[in-house]
Amino acid sequence: ASPRLSYEENCEIYGKCARPHGHGHNYHLEITVKGTIDPRTGMLVDLAQLQSAIDDHVVEPFDHTFLNKDIPYFEEVVPTAENIAVHIRDLLQAPIAALGASLYKVKLIESPNNSAEVYAAVPQSSERPQATPEFAMV
């Protein structure tokens, strides 16, 4: 729910997702990377290192949290699947680059019928990441 809207407005827009005490999801996250396959290893990126980066920057900070209150980014940004995917994209670009690959796509699956996909762009400046309009599959 948006802190800038009334409870009634939030309920009209977000339905049960506007509950003041929150609600939960068990998200499924798919990360796609791109780059050049290393001829020595046959790998684009070490998948164990990639998983470790995802765990460190996304899973550990987000798991079992109230996103609106526990993740500073979502104090002002509504944690829709689209905005969560955008934030994950922004969090993972640098760690994946440090592994020698490039982030290509973040797909956040909220339910069997709802998901959001965002594609990586040119890395943003050091300013606080901002949610931007993205294409989403719903």
Task: Please report, for the domain that includes residue 64, its CATH number.
Answer: 3.30.479.10
pLDDT value at residue 19: 72
Tell me whether residue 61 is in a domain.
Answer: yes
CA distances from 71 to 97, 113, 138 (A): 23, 26, 24
CA distance 71 to 42: 37
Q: How many domains does the chain have?
A: 1
By CB atoms closer than 10 A (0-12, 13-18, 19+), residue 89 is buried
- 84 part of a folded domain: yes
The pLDDT value given to residue 136:
38
Identify whether 91 is part of a domain: yes
| pLDDT for the residue numbered 110 | 93
Look at residue 134 in the predicted model and tell me its pLDDT.
Answer: 44
> Which pLDDT score is estimated for 137?
40
Please list the residues that pair with 102 across neighbouring strands: 34
Asked, for residue 33, whether it belongs to a domain, the answer is: yes
Enumerate the active-site residues: 17, 64, 110
The reported pLDDT for the residue numbered 10 is 65
pLDDT (0 to 100) of residue 21 = 67
Residue 124 has a pLDDT of: 52
pLDDT tens sequence for the chain (138 residues): 777 777 788 678 877 776 776 677 899 999 999 999 999 999 999 999 999 999 999 999 999 998 988 999 998 898 999 999 999 999 999 999 999 999 999 999 999 999 999 999 754 555 554 544 444 343
Enclosing domain of residue 90: 24-119
